[in-house]
Amino acid sequence: MTDKKENYRLTRIEEACENNSYPVYFDFFDERLQMKIEDIIKHYNVQYLFFGGNENAQRQMLCIFPDYVAASDLEWPICSLVFEVKGKLDHRNILGTLMSLGITRDLIGDIDVSEKWGQIIVNERIADFIVNNLRQINHTNIDLKVKKIGEILIFERQFEQKEIVIASDRLDGAIGKIFGHSRQLSLDMIRQKKVRLNYQEVTKKDCRLAQGDIISLRGKGKARIISMDEKTKKGNIKMIVEIYK
């Protein structure tokens, strides 16, 4: 998302907070923007809620609503498109095909794929367009079925646990070990602003890591630090991470 579009969306949120007379829904936000939005909304005495279609959703819509409306009465404009997986498909294949149809990322929530089923959570206003135009992904035919908000599938998050040994708790020394590339590539990715720590963009290579931190690399994936308390006999740090698939 460009800075211009992001600023526009944040301005609309501030306007909704100031003119809070009816529920206003906003398209999907990633975790970084959800944190940024909460920092903005806390300065206003308004009710708000994030929701992405199910309890495990990472990308979520926002609703700002007045006191006379109960959260349970909100009518989220969310549905999912479910299809049977045939062949090898992944998140990147699906998202790339959606983008090729001219659909913007903010209209799309979580994309999940298991061995048998795939699911795309979307703003309901584009569901029919996708169903009518998305017939194939990665040279594999698919048949999309629309599921209402109460029928959206819940996918368990898949991750790989990995133990690494690092000399220090600096970010630049850890990410190569976590994601399996060179230290030089790690430095290049930091310079290119492709690394986020707890959903915030990183520009300094010597950021310090702590248990619970979440590291995201654009195009590579995301990992969470489970522990880093133990040390080797040589004084290096043993770090255990969960790498999300």
Share of residues in the chain with pLDDT > 90 (%): 69
Residues in the chain, overall count: 245
Task: Give the separation between CA 178 and CA 213, rounded to whole angstroms.
Answer: 13
Nearest to 128 by CA among 92, 60, 79: 79
Regarding whether 127 and 58 lie in a shared domain, the answer is no
Q: What is the CATH number of the domain that holds 21?
A: 3.30.1370.160
Q: Judge whether 215 and 225 are in contact, CB under 8 Å.
A: yes
CATH number at residue 189: 3.10.290.10
Report the pLDDT value the prediction gives residue 245, as an integer from 0 to 100. Answer: 67
User: Could you tell me the residue range of the domain that residue 222 belongs to?
Assistant: 159-244
pTM for this one?
0.80
CATH code: domain of residue 142: 3.30.70.330
177 plus 231 within the same structural domain: yes
Task: Return the ∠ at Cα 23 (arms to 22 and 28), rounded to 5°.
Answer: 155
pLDDT at 200 (0 to 100) = 84
Q: DSSP character for 170?
A: B
Residues 157/86, Cβ–Cβ less than 8 Å: no
Residue, of 164 and 220, whose pLDDT is higher: 164
Which of 112-121, 150-159, 229-238 is least confident?
Answer: 150-159
> Do both 240 and 165 map to the same domain?
yes
Round to whole Å and give the CA distance between 171 and 210: 10
Residues whose CB falls within 8 Å of the CB of residue 10, separated by 6 or more in sequence, listed in order: 36, 37, 40
CA-to-CA dists, residue 8 to 13, 47, 204, angstroms: 9, 21, 28
Q: At what angle do helices 3-18 and 31-41 cross, to 10 degrees?
A: 40
Number of independent structural domains in the chain: 3
Q: Specify the pLDDT at position 209.
A: 93
pLDDT at 153: 93
My answer on whether 169 and 226 are in the same domain is yes
Residue 56 pLDDT > 90:
no
What is the per-residue pLDDT across 90-145, written as a single tens digit (0 to 9) for each? Answer: 888 999 999 999 999 999 999 999 889 999 999 999 999 999 999 999 888 999 99
Answer for the pair 180, 217: CB distance below 8 angstroms, yes or no: no
Of 97, 129, 151, which closes a domain?
151
Name the domain boundary from 97, 124, 151: 151
Residues 178 and 210 in one domain: yes
Q: Determine what percent of the chain is predicted with pLDDT higher than 70.
A: 99
In terms of domains, do 226 and 166 share one?
A: yes
Q: Are residues 67 and 82 located together in one domain of the fold?
A: no
